[in-house]
Amino acid sequence: MDPEVRKRTLRLITYGLYVLTAADGEEIAAGTINWLSQASFQPPLVMVGIKKDSHLHALIERTGKFAVNILGAGQKEIASAFFRPTQVAEGKLNGYPFEWGPRTGAPLLVDLPAWFEAQVTDAVRRGDHTVFVAEVIEAGLRDPEARPLVMWDTGWFYGG
Ligand code: FAD
């Protein structure tokens, strides 16, 4: 296999962008991710690929729960803020207001148009990311008119 062709081919997979959060009490991790997809209707399952050496990974392993905040088109700047280390100051997470998720205790960013909480059911520990399969246990739609932020439109890549 030609590695350059593989890279360019895999980068043509279409993605959205999401701020994934997890919490164990006051300990919080939050990061922008794109490796996420729905994986079953009944039960409603999603799968996410999470970097093994990240704080997010440690907290998801420990608590078995996470929240997904769906970024809207036009929220590229918010996505960028969650490539940086997580900081809570003056009731904001990396500068953005949040509330606590009702089922997971993970932060929900109130400026983002939609969110869901998920409980991990399975984990595939194979490569440098773990694939967590999780059941959606709560969801909220703050802006029914919003369109999602699409990875291709940002010019960023995470894949290949
Ligand atoms: P970390 O950098 O892991 O942690 C932040 C802080 O927590 C650091 O101070 C660190 O010292 C501390 N910490 C680290 N590990 C622990 C631990 N075990 N216990 C206690 N403290 C710890 N990543 C993915 O996993 N999946 C994706 O799909 C994905 N897509 C991306 C797309 C793009 C375009 C980009 C640019 C990045 C993407 N990333 C993805 C990377 C992700 O955004 C960053 O790794 C993000 O910072 C993860 O958040 P974190 O809090 O886990 O960060």
Tell me how far the alpha carbon of residue 84 lies from the centroid of ligand 1, in angstroms. 8
Of 73, 66, 69, 82, the C-alpha closest to 32 is: 82
Pocket of ligand 1, beta carbon within 6 A: 29-35, 49-51, 54-56, 58, 83, 85-86, 129, 156, 158
- Mean pLDDT of the 136-151 span: 97
pLDDT-derived band at 33 (thresholds 50, 70, 90) equals very high
Are 99 and 107 in contact, with CB atoms under 8 Å apart? yes
Tell me which H or E stretch contains 93. strand 92-93
Nearest alpha carbon, ligand 1 atom 27: 33
What amino acid is encoded at 150 in this protein? V
- Mean pLDDT of the 18-36 span: 97
**Whole-number mean pLDDT of the chain?**
97
Identify the pLDDT of residue 23.
Answer: 97
Domains of the chain, with CATH numbers? Answer: 15-151 (2.30.110.10)
Phi, psi of 16 (to 5 degrees): -100, -175
Identify the pLDDT of residue 94.
Answer: 97
Ligand 1, residue 157: give the atom nearest the CA.
34
Identify the pLDDT of residue 46.
Answer: 98
- Mean pLDDT of the 19-46 span: 97
113 CB-side CA count, 13 A:
14
- Mean pLDDT of the 88-114 span: 97
Tell me which H or E stretch contains 83. none
Nearest alpha carbon, ligand 1 atom 20: 55
Residue-wise pLDDT for 43-92, tens only, equals 999 999 999 999 999 999 999 999 999 999 999 999 999 999 999 999 89
